Every structure is written in C-alpha cells, then in structure tokens.
Amino acid sequence: MRFFTTTIICLLLFAACNNDRKAVETLEKATMDLHDEAMKAMGPMNSTARSLRETLKTTDSLSQQYLSIREALAKIEHAESDMMTWMQSYTPPAEDTPAEQALQYLNDQKSKMEQNFKDIKAAAEQGKNLLETKK
C-alpha cells in the first residue's frame, strides 16, 4: 500500500510540474508572437517616419504642422527605442527557473511588449494622419 501511495504522489508531482512547464511555454510563445507582430508593425511605422521627414523639409518651421510632425517623429523614435531596449534585455527563462518565477517574469515582459505594440500602432497612426492632412 505504501508503494502505491508513493507512486501516486510522484505521478501527481510530475503532472503538476509538467503543467507548470506547459504554462511557461505557452506564455513564452504568446510573448514572442506578440513581439513578432510588433516587429511587423515597425516596418510601416518607419516608412511613415521617412515620409514625415521628407514632409518636414518643406514645412514652415514656425507652423503648427511642423511641431505636430516633430511630435509624431519623437513618438515613433520612442516606440522604436523601446523595442530595441526590450529585445536587448529580454532573456527567456532558463529551463530550471521555478515556474512561478518564470511566469511572473514572462507576464511582465508580455505586458511591456503589449504597451510597446500599442505605442507603435499609435505613433504610426498619428504619422499617417499627419501625412493625410498635408495632402
């Protein structure tokens, strides 16, 4: 009977560890998928920035339009800088990291990436709107 109880306990512990590892892997994949989507959004954002810089060359530096373009470019640069900073500082949790600690870290990283993705989309949208009004 003791062998049976010990075996059941070991199986339950193994299943719990396996579920924790699965949760870590799932959250890590979701974080990286979000990163990949944000990276795709950076291309159009940077294209918008190039167009804004060209427009800036022919815009009166004392006009409100000029200030609005400078503001949009600053937001684009900030969003891009945040992405580069995140990529440099992100380190996937080691295999032996306790699941609770890994999940906490990944939740924090995913939250940062969600904010960065929002910033990228907002900056690109603001820039596009400015280009539309300039036409």
Q: Structure tokens of 92?
A: 């996937």
With CA atoms as reference, report the closest residue to 28 among 117, 120, 96, 91.
91
- Sign for the CA dihedral angle at 106, 112, 118, 123 comes to negative
The model's pLDDT over 39-92, given as tens digits with 9 standing for 90+, comes to 999 999 999 999 999 999 999 989 999 999 999 999 999 999 999 999 999 999
The rounded radius of gyration (Å) of the Cα atoms in the chain is 23
Q: What is the pLDDT of residue 23?
A: 85
Rounded mean pLDDT of the chain? 88
d(CA 104, CA 63): 47
| DSSP structure string for 101-135 | HHHHHHHHHHHHHHHHHHHHHHHHHHHHHHHHHH-
